[in-house]
Amino acid sequence: MFAGVAGLLAASSAAALADDEVVAAVPFEFIVNGVHMPAGNYQVTQLDGQSIISVKNVDGRHFAYVLTNALAPEQAGPSPELVFDRVNGTNFLARVVSTESGREIPLPAKLLKTESTRVAVLAFPSRRSASH
């Protein structure tokens, strides 16, 4: 009986730490945390309860971690998306919205003074299996 209860606790703990992930086809180059990313298909993952997200090209050749801030639900928007700030022709990943949360990536202070345009790319929720 103890083994059964321990198994249930372990399963519920694993579910609580499940990754929140979205995938998106980004049609342009962009920068995240100083790392240049080419256009392509990306997986963006946030571990529940953490403020760090990972951004990786699905072919595994480009990868970055970035510290984020939580967005209020009304700021995040109704559907999953990646939001970019375009500053002087360069795209910076600025927000990640999934079905469960929204995260904002602060831009460097010198860019905050420059006029920018917001560009959103539709994303799709994805749940990774426990074996990954």
User: Could you read off the pLDDT tens digit of each residue along the chain, which spans 132 residues?
Assistant: 333 333 333 333 333 334 689 999 999 999 999 999 999 999 999 876 789 999 999 998 999 999 999 988 777 777 899 999 999 899 999 999 987 789 999 887 777 667 778 888 989 887 654 444
Pick the closest to residue 64 from 45, 40, 87 (CA basis): 45
Residue 45 bridge partners (DSSP): 21, 54
Other C-beta atoms within 10 Å of 106: how many?
A: 12
Classify the C-alpha dihedral 29-33-34-35 as positive or negative. Answer: negative
Spell out the alpha helix ranges (H) of 77-131: 109-112
Q: Report the pLDDT value the prediction gives residue 125, as an integer from 0 to 100.
A: 86
Spell out the alpha helix ranges (H) of 1-132: 2-16, 73-76, 109-112
Per-domain residue ranges for the chain? 19-126
Classify the C-alpha dihedral 58-61-65-69 as positive or negative. Answer: negative
Which letter does DSSP use for residue 113 in this model? T
Token couple for 115? 């006029």
Name the one residue in this structure whose structure tokens are 């006029």: 115
